[in-house]
Chains A and B, each alone.
Chain A
């Protein structure tokens, strides 16, 4: 995401729209790559612009895919809000000091997985709670969140590989 970050970002938002519109794993599985797009934004992007980007991308997906308007935006903005803290907690202050993006090759599979899982979990919890609007039992929500987390994680790991350049190159 370093060379042409805007173009890459737009491409992946379009990918999310296609994923939502045409790739149905099951009625109750939420497949999303949006949290990872926000997580992998360049570290030079501050929290407020990141939240605005998250809001715009969420709305774009809601509007152009078959979602309820506001659902993805509601779930994605918190990911952008905690992004800096999450990156600092898992990867340390190095990415910010060196103004470099986080990457799978530099920080390793384990750390990236933890970051992806945490951002996905936050997104999915809000998304599923807001979508079901407290009308479903807790076990159903938990199962849906768990299955969606695993499915989305698998897709996100692939996406991260494409999305992040190795800064040492």
Chain B
């Protein structure tokens, strides 16, 4: 019994000790700038380590799924390559221009941080200016648009995610349908809103939505999602709900696309708004 009593007293002492230390630390961080910064730095470091570790663990357990996705993507790319080779064999290509036929340069990258919890989400990728990444390059996957590069350092690039209420991309219903701005709906990670579609345009729920290619940031015909319900806005245009193909919570590998003719186009039209 005395032993149990002393253990209980020890636990109470420890609890009071932790409580008083926490109170002191709280007061200290409220009253000292240096201390507040130090605590914030330690907190951020701890969070970054925890976050990185959990990401590595979840990445390890989703390797099989990632492999399947890569294999599927590899298969579709091989098909596309075969088709393009067939076209190239009959089309003369001037190698001196050194610009790919679609005018876009593609660089693969890995996402090292991405958020989906706020209204202004962002992404950090492991490629920077040393890898040829430039500001305003697009970020895509085979399942849709991921974001737009906002700032670049030597080894990393910071991008605004498509899951950002300020981002609009030009999209088209089907491969030759109506074009309008597609934006995130701000609530769900797999839904967007295709806006400003004229009332006379006919479409059916389930139609595929692609990038229009009107933007200097993204190439045309990247599948983005499928149409859903629509509603009339101000009696003038339709706003169509789009279920996106890309699962933004599972993003790992992306492709950065740079329009090699961007400067030339923008010298005529002015810089493009996101």
Q: Counting CB contacts under 8 A, is B13 at the interface? A: yes
The distance in angstroms between the C-alpha atoms of A52 and B41, with both chains bound, is: 29
Our pick among B9, B12, B24, B37 for the contact of A77 (Cβ within 8 Å) is: B24
Interface string of A2-15 (1 = CB under 8 A from B): 00000000000000
B residues near A81, Cβ cutoff 8 Å: 13, 17
Q: Are A55 and B24 also in contact (CB < 8 A) when A47-B13, A48-B12, A81-B13 are?
A: yes
Contact between B17 and A68, CB atoms less than 8 A apart: no
Q: Which of A111-119, A128-136, A140-148 contacts B (4 or more CB under 8 A)?
A: A128-136
A77 to B25, CA, bound (A): 11
In-complex Cβ contact of B21 among A69, A71, A78 (8 A): A78
The answer to whether the Cβ of A74 comes within 8 Å of any Cβ in the partner chain is yes
Q: Which residue of B lies closest to A62 (CB)?
A: B27
Q: Cα distance A149–B69 when bound, in Å?
A: 63
A70 touches B17 (CB 8 A): no
B20, B21, B37: the one within 8 Å of A133 (CB):
B37
Q: Which of B15-73 contact A (CB under 8 A)?
A: 16-17, 20-21, 23-32, 34-35, 37-38, 41
C-alpha spacing A71/B38, complex, angstroms: 14
Question: Knowing A48-B12, A81-B13, A135-B38 touch, does A69 contact B31 (C-beta < 8 A)?
Answer: yes
> Per a CB cutoff under 8 Å, which of A48, A54, A58 touches B13?
A48
Q: For residue A68, which residues in chain B have a CB less than 8 angstroms away from its CB?
A: 28, 31-32, 35
Q: How many A-B residue pairs have CB under 8 A?
A: 67
> B20: which of A46, A71, A77, A134 is its contact (CB, 8 Å)?
A77
Query: 0/1 per residue, A56-72, Cβ < 8 Å to B?
Result: 00110000000011110
Residues of B within 8 A of A46 (CB): 9
Nearest-Cβ distance from residue A156 to partner chain B, whole angstroms? 22
Interface centre among B21, B24, B32 (most CB of A within 10 A): B24
Cβ A70 vs Cβ B16 within 8 A = no
Tell me if A1 counts as interface (CB < 8 A to partner B).
no
The answer on a CB contact under 8 Å between A74 and B28 is: yes
Chain A: number of interface residues, binned into ranges? 20 to 34
Q: What residues on B are CB-neighbors of A34 within 8 Å?
A: none
Say whether A70 contacts B34, CB under 8 Å. Answer: no
Which residues of chain B have C-beta atoms less than 8 A from A58's C-beta?
A: 24
A51 adjacent to chain B (CB < 8 Å): yes
A55 to B23 CA separation, bound complex (whole angstroms): 9
Within 8 A of B (CB), among A110-169: 130, 132-135
A51 touches B28 (CB 8 A): no
CA distance A55 to B35 in the complex (A): 19
Per the 8 Å Cβ criterion, residues 32-61 of A in contact with B are 46-48, 51-52, 54-55, 58-59
Please, which residues of chain A bring their CB within 8 A of the CB of B29? 70
Do B34 and A71 touch across chains, with their CB atoms under 8 A apart? no
- CB-CB under 8 A from A78, the residues of chain B are 17, 21
Contact A133 B32 (CB under 8 A): yes
Kindly state whether residue A17 has any CB partner on chain B within 8 Å: no
Say whether A51 contacts B24, CB under 8 Å: no
Most buried by B among A52, A132, A134: A134
Given the complex of chains A and B, what is the CA–CA distance between A77 and B27 in angstroms?
14
Which residue, A51, A70, A78, has most C-beta atoms of chain B within 10 A?
Answer: A70
Tell me whether A77 and B38 are in contact in the complex, defined as CB-CB below 8 angstroms, given that A70-B26, A70-B28 are known contacts: no
Could you list 5 examples of A-B contacts with CB < 8 Å?
A58-B24, A68-B31, A73-B23, A74-B28, A132-B34
Residues of B that sit less than 8 Å from A by CB = 9, 12-13, 16-17, 20-21, 23-32, 34-35, 37-38, 41
Extra inter-chain contacts (12) besides given A59-B27, A73-B27, A133-B38, CB under 8 Å: A46-B9, A55-B24, A68-B31, A69-B27, A69-B28, A70-B23, A70-B25, A71-B28, A73-B20, A78-B21, A81-B17, A134-B38
